[in-house]
């Protein structure tokens, strides 16, 4: 019986394990954490967003520069396949109002328990064996000279152990949420062996505003959301983003869904030019002409704050950002004030640290692998999941691509070993 080692017990590694076990392979899954799927469980704490129900062409567009590569992976395992897979575990799903797909009970833990039960007690094939608190520590010199990638070293509570197999699949995650195991420690090891790795960068992250907020502004409004607003991003290289939604003010800048959705453009603009600016539309459902007319309407003895609240329903954090960004004379000039209401410029100086990000960009370049996700420099060593060089916004796209890459890598291992393929 062929033996495969999988390093990383996240969704990509577990999906590959299911593919391989179903084909009769002896599968050993190693992970540094005490239990399986730590990041998966935390990501689903507020409601597990499995995937998205939008049309396939729109779905793949969410992967930016890697859309064609991810579209190829999704040919094997797409959003519909993911929902069918969950159904096979006894987990019904539903489509929310935004098109996002969730388990019927919104929880990650029951799905993970059912999945692990099936992996440990499969209807066919050998049970997947899990080795927790095993932190990968590189390759063993004891491995065969012609197959150095097949022998691995692990640090455990009982000292170092070594293991060897017929193939290895790395699903080590990116660089965000290090406390859950995705610490990017694997990057120098692969880089030292000539594997092309793009630097890990924060994705779906918050940002620090240039110059910081005033103390008065943060004391009153840090942690509060901007609701029913829109942002527009136009980068120096011609890319643009615009969407209505909400985000949150932080002590040092901004974070939240609209910011995460545009984070790759903002981050890359900062890296290229030192800063990035987005325009904040406080009243996206109202035209500039209407806003100007309301601002210009005589206010009599009313204060400007009362005028804006009465005519435009602008108060709270929305009114405060205007005072934060405009001087007194600008606030009392109708044309300038109306322009700001429709396009408050917010300039960002830096992305928040990688470990605070929801996910990471960068990783093993697809050019360093074949279509089966096997390293060109290391036959028999495969990579999958977030450790690959791609990124996507939140909304189920991250999990779907991780699962699809695990499925493809599992099938690739079977091809490499000359075994009959089997679906997950």
If one counts the domains in the chain, the total is 2
Residue 259 lies in a domain: yes
Check whether residue 262 and residue 279 sit in a common domain: yes
Check whether residue 260 and residue 238 sit in a common domain: yes
Check whether residue 249 and residue 339 sit in a common domain: yes
The parent domain of residue 310 ranges over 207-351
Residue 422 lies in a domain: no
Check whether residue 158 and residue 262 sit in a common domain: no
Check whether residue 274 and residue 368 sit in a common domain: no
Check whether residue 281 and residue 268 sit in a common domain: yes
Report the alpha-carbon distance of residue 421 to residue 243 in Å, rounded.
43
- What pLDDT is attached to residue 180? 83
pLDDT < 70 stretches in the chain: 141-149, 420-424
Q: The CATH number of the domain where 161 resides is what? A: 3.50.50.60
- What pLDDT is attached to residue 424? 45
Check whether residue 12 and residue 149 sit in a common domain: yes
Residue 423 lies in a domain: no
Check whether residue 43 and residue 64 sit in a common domain: yes
Instruction: Please give the model's pTM, rounded to 2 decimal places.
Output: 0.91
Check whether residue 103 and residue 248 sit in a common domain: no
- What pLDDT is attached to residue 148? 55
Residue indicated by tokens 């011609």: 238
Residue 62 lies in a domain: yes
- What pLDDT is attached to residue 179? 84
Report the alpha-carbon distance of residue 373 to residue 365 in Å, rounded.
10
- What pLDDT is attached to residue 421? 54
**Domain limit, last residue, from 351, 381, 409:** 351
- Give CA 16 to chain center in angstroms: 20
Paired strand residues for 244: 230
Residue 299 lies in a domain: yes
- What pLDDT is attached to residue 43? 80
Check whether residue 246 and residue 261 sit in a common domain: yes
**Which helix (H) or strand (E) element contains residue 139?**
strand 135-139
Residue 323 lies in a domain: yes
For the residues of 225-241, what is the DSSP string, one character each? EEEEEEEEEE-TTS-EE
- What pLDDT is attached to residue 147? 57
Check whether residue 113 and residue 13 sit in a common domain: yes
Check whether residue 183 and residue 288 sit in a common domain: no
Neighbours of 71 (CB within 10 A): 17
**Domain limit, last residue, from 316, 351, 386:** 351
**Domain limit, last residue, from 318, 351, 384:** 351
């Amino acid at each position: 019986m062929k033996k495969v080692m999988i390093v990383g017990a996240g969704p990509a590694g577990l999906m590959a394990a299911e593919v391989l076990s179903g084909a009769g392979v002896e599968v050993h899954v190693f992970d540094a954490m005490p239990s399986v799927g730590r990041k998966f469980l935390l990501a689903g704490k507020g409601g597990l967003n499995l995937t998205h129900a939008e049309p396939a062409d729109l779905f793949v567009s969410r992967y930016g520069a890697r859309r064609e590569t991810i579209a190829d992976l999704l040919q094997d395992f797409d959003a519909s396949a993911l929902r069918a897979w969950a159904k096979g575990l006894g987990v019904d799903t539903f489509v929310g109002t935004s098109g996002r797909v969730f388990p019927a009970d919104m929880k990650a833990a029951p799905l993970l328990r059912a999945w692990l039960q099936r992996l440990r007690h499969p209807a066919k094939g050998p049970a997947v064996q899990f080795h927790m608190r095993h932190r990968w520590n590189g390759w063993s010199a004891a491995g065969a000279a012609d197959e150095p990638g097949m022998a691995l070293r692990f640090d455990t509570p009982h000292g170092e152990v070594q293991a060897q197999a017929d193939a290895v699949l790395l699903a080590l995650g990116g660089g965000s949420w290090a406390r859950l195991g995705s610490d990017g420690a694997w990057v120098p090891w692969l880089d030292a062996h000539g594997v092309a790795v793009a630097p890990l960068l924060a994705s779906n992250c918050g940002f620090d505003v240039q110059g910081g907020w005033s103390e008065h502004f943060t004391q009153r409004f840090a942690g509060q959301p901007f609701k029913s607003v829109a942002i527009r991003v136009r980068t120096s290289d011609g890319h643009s983003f615009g969407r209505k939604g909400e985000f949150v003010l932080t002590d040092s800048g901004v974070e939240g869904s609209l910011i995460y959705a545009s984070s790759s453009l903002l981050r890359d603009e900062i890296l290229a030019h030192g800063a990035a600016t987005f325009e904040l539309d406080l009243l996206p459902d109202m035209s500039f002409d209407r806003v100007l007319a309301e601002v210009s309407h005589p206010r009599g003895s009313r204060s400007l704050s009362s005028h804006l609240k009465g005519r435009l329903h602008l108060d709270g954090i929305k009114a405060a950002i205007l005072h934060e960004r405009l001087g007194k004379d600008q606030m009392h000039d109708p044309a300038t004030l109306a322009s700001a209401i429709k396009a408050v410029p917010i300039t960002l100086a830096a992305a928040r640290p990688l470990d605070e990000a929801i996910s990471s960009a960068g990783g093993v370049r697809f050019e360093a692998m074949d279509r089966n996700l096997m390293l060109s420099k290391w036959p028999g060593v495969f990579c999958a999941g977030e450790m690959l060089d791609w990124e996507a916004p939140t909304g189920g796209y991250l999990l779907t691509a991780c699962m699809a890459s695990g499925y493809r890598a599992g099938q690739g291992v079977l091809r490499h070993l000359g075994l009959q393929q089997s679906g997950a």
